[in-house]
Copies of this chain bind each other. A is one copy, B any other.
Amino acid sequence: MKFSILRDRLVESVQDVSKAITSRTTIPILTGIKIVASEDGITFTGSDSDISIESFVPKEEDGDEIAAIQETGGIVLQARFFGELVKKLPMDIVEIEVVNQFQTMIRSGKSEFNLIGLDPEEYPHLPQITEDKVIRIPADILKNLIRQTVFAVSTAETRPILTGVNWSIQNNRLNCIATDSHRLAQRTAEIETAADAEYNIVIPGKSLNELNKILPDTNELVEIVITDNQVLFKAKHLLFFSRLLEGNYPDTSRLIPTDAKTELIVNAKEFLQAIDRASLLAKEGQNANVVKLSSLANIPGAIEITSNSPEIGKVVDRVQCKSIEGEALKISFSSKYMIDALKVLEGMEISIRFTGAMRPFVIRPVNDETILQLILPVRTY
């Protein structure tokens, strides 16, 4: 194997595939990046066996030469060292050559690295996925879908299925749901696919977080292929494979209340800042992160957010709502869950619908039916 490549493209590909690599693996070769030079270009692969990422650098793009392949072949190089060193190479062009068995020279200007590589034949094969029904969605919408749901997955391993995000596809509509059983995030979107395509899968939250980091922030279409135990995301020169979680995702539809006793409409950012301040004094003790929200009988349209820590003090914050309708309100909840939910709605006017101090409440943007956030309150009154 022998090729030269533009350093910036090499750095980008190495950083992308490194997202899949962990040093805590039981398969030593997976701490490496597999590099394969073919006639058409160079393929980089990283994997932790749950997630696999493949990045391709073509010889030419838009008429510009990006890489030149002198000899095809492959090698596996330690991700940790290789990743650090490519960033520090002095010149714009890098030459990589397997010189002697698995010894690999990396040259750039007057710098010459000689790394001990591993046999690429030993590297596990990526899942074979046959493309049946392809789903298409713009990358920026996909990133939003992920961002607006993935934070709500469970981090506890007691119910592994809840560490993933449930994607169900029906009638050209994708519905994403994440819940840790204390709060729930839901987002739907139109997708391009065969009309009869129906799927119900659970994608690990970790996979979606990594995917979100490497997808471009453009409206370029991403293709999604789903099999029994794998999902494949295909963007330009990029393949992202993730294993799916096994098991049945709980039916969450009946958790979401349809009626409301109190509804308030408020600016998400102002509300977020008030909750953030109130949570400052709610950091420790039994009611860690719990804040209280009450409507104020004497000031129309105002709500009060309070928290209290016997040893430190208390905070009282007031927010003016656009409107409050229905019964008087008094409810306590986790400021962390509220802050997480409000962050993905920032800049929007939101409606919060309550059905009682011990019933879950629903947060939605006023003019957008595709997003829903649900939070279970905490008993303190």
Contact = CB atoms under 8 A, between A and B. Distances in A.
Interface in A45-100: 78, 81, 84-85, 88-90
Nearest to A274: B111
A271 to B, nearest CB: 12
B273 A90 contact: yes
A134 to B, nearest CB: 42
Interface in A230-274: 273-274
A99 to B, nearest CB: 11
Classify chain A's interface size: 20 to 34
Identical chains in the assembly: 2
A312 B311 CA distance: 54
A315 B280 contact: no
A213 interface: no
A24 interface: no
A85 B115 contact: no
Contact of A112 (B85, B110, B315, B319): B315
A81 B311 contact: no
Given A78-B312, A311-B116, A280 B110 contact: no
A276 interface: yes
A285 interface: no
Contact of A110 (B114, B281, B317): B317
B90 A280 contact: no
Contact of A313 (B111, B114, B277, B312): B114
Interface string A112-149: 11111000000000000000000000000000000000
A282 to B, nearest CB: 11
A97 B363 CA distance: 37
A303 to B, nearest CB: 10
A318 interface: yes
Contact of A88 (B78, B103, B273, B318): B273
A27 interface: no
Nearest to A315: B113
Nearest to A89: B277
A319 B277 contact: no
B280 A85 contact: yes
A314 interface: yes
A311 B111 CA distance: 20
A316 interface: yes
> Which residue among A88, A111, A311 has the maximum number of chain B CB atoms within 10 Å of its CB?
A111
Nearest to A299: B110
Given A78-B312, A116-B313, A312-B81, A319 B110 contact: yes
6 contacts: A81-B280, A85-B280, A103-B313, A111-B318, A112-B316, A113-B315
